[in-house]
Amino acid sequence: MEQGSMEATNPNPSSMSGVAAASAAELLCCASARALLDSVDAFLFDCDGVIWKGDKLIDGVPQTLDMLRSKGKKLVFVTNNSTKSRIQYANKFQSLGLSVNQDEIFSSSFAAAMYLKVNQFPPHKKVYVIGGEGIVQELQLAGFTALGGPVGAVVVGLDPDINYYKLQYATLCIRENPGCLFIATNRDSVGHMTDLQEWPGAGCMVAAVCGSTEQEPIVVGKPSTFMMDFLLQKFNVSTSRMCMVGDRLDTDILFGQNAGCKTLLVLSGVTTQSTLDDPSNSIKPDYYTNKVSDILSLLGE
């Protein structure tokens, strides 16, 4: 991988309508579940709303993941939630009884650090973070410092402790420091912080900084395919032999489509059946189903 060879993108869902609306989504059935399994070597899973909601596993997930591993499928977990580092996510998986190692996890916090690394961000410059410990940890592991100055990049992710001072300082850095990068981990408007409610997502914090700086960020999380470059290097699987499984149309499914993967929408998270069927929705997955464990039941495993 050449240094500086990767660029994060900020695709506009409306510009993808010609691709996304090419065909209607198909409800997963026994035959299509079997065909999908046979045509895919790696399953990429979102986490919030797909594997768990808050700290509660969604029914049937452990058995489904075990079945896929027994069939020789590679499993990768690609999350836009930047509040945790990959190490912290591995610990969360373990606490929920799932055996997932750090190398199988690709978070937007990791993507932010890797974006700076591959684009040769000067090590003497500092990174100002609006976000959680996950971003700070990944920056430190990549050799960057999130305290002090001069600030050469501002990274904005989900921050439950967002306040006016943080917004003001980020705005000053982006507007006053020549060449200061404005990086967003993701632009999800809401997320499942608990198993019962959707809470404001990182997109709210990003929007605030966009408003005060009158600038658009570099987005490194889904639907940007920036993380896909690392996935391809790590697992050596063609994107045509991958299936992205997620609960959001504008991030998970669009990410899979942008990368050339097969796509499976689950209705256990943010997206509802009515949203999927809405005539104004131009993002159509290849397949959709209620929850991940439907794969298991449809295959009769």
At 47-84, the pLDDT tens digits run: 999 999 988 999 999 999 999 999 999 999 999 999 99
Q: Judge: domain 26-80+223-299, CATH 3.40.50.1000.
A: yes
Per DSSP, 216 falls in state P
Q: Domain boundaries in the chain?
A: 26-80+223-299, 121-219
pTM recorded for the entire structure: 0.87
Model confidence over 256-297: pLDDT tens digits? 999 999 999 999 999 999 999 999 999 999 999 999 999 999
pLDDT of amino acid 170: 97
Known binding-site residue numbers:
46, 48, 222, 247
Q: Which of 14-18, 40-44, 165-169 has the lowest mean pLDDT?
A: 14-18
Q: Is 131 exposed, middle or buried (0-12, 13-18, 19+ CB in 10 A)?
A: buried
CA distances from 52 to 23, 26, 43, 106, 292 (A): 29, 24, 16, 16, 11
List residues with catalytic annotation. Answer: 46, 48
Is omega for the bond preceding 160 within 30 degrees of 0, making it cis? no
CA distances from 261 to 51, 78, 130, 225, 250 (A): 19, 14, 32, 11, 15
Model confidence over 147-206: pLDDT tens digits? 888 999 999 999 999 999 999 999 999 999 999 999 999 998 887 666 667 789 999 999
Q: In the structure, what pLDDT confidence band is assigned to residue 9 with cuts at 50, 70 and 90?
A: low
Is the pLDDT assigned to residue 8 strictly greater than 80? Answer: no
Q: What percentage of the chain has pLDDT greater than the value 70?
A: 91
CA distances from 291 to 45, 77, 271, 294, 296 (A): 12, 16, 12, 6, 10
Amino acid at 211: G
* 121-219 matches 26-80+223-299 in CATH topology: yes
CATH no., domain 121-219: 3.40.50.1000
Known binding-site residue numbers for substrate:
222
pLDDT of amino acid 194: 64
Q: Is 135 exposed, middle or buried (0-12, 13-18, 19+ CB in 10 A)?
A: buried
Q: What angle do CA 222, 227, 230 make, to 5 degrees?
A: 165
Is there a contact between 280 and 52 (Cβ–Cβ < 8 Å)? no
Known binding-site residue numbers for Mg(2+):
46, 48, 247
**What does the pLDDT average to over 19-47?**
88
Model confidence over 90-148: pLDDT tens digits? 999 999 999 999 999 999 999 999 999 999 999 899 999 999 999 999 999 999 998 88
Under 8 Å CB-to-CB from 75, ≥6 apart: which residues?
A: 42, 43, 45, 65, 68, 69, 100, 104
- 266/271 Cα distance (integer angstroms): 8
Q: In the structure, what pLDDT confidence band is assigned to residue 231 with cuts at 50, 70 and 90?
A: confident
**What does the pLDDT average to over 221-232?**
90
Q: In the structure, what pLDDT confidence band is assigned to residue 301 with cuts at 50, 70 and 90?
A: confident
**What does the pLDDT average to over 241-267?**
97
3-state helix, strand, coil in the chain (%, to 5): 40, 20, 40
Which strands, in side-by-side order, build the sheet including 218-219?
Answer: 126-130, 151-156, 181-184, 218-219
Hey, what are 57's tokens? 């596993």
Per DSSP, 195 falls in state S
pLDDT of amino acid 118: 94
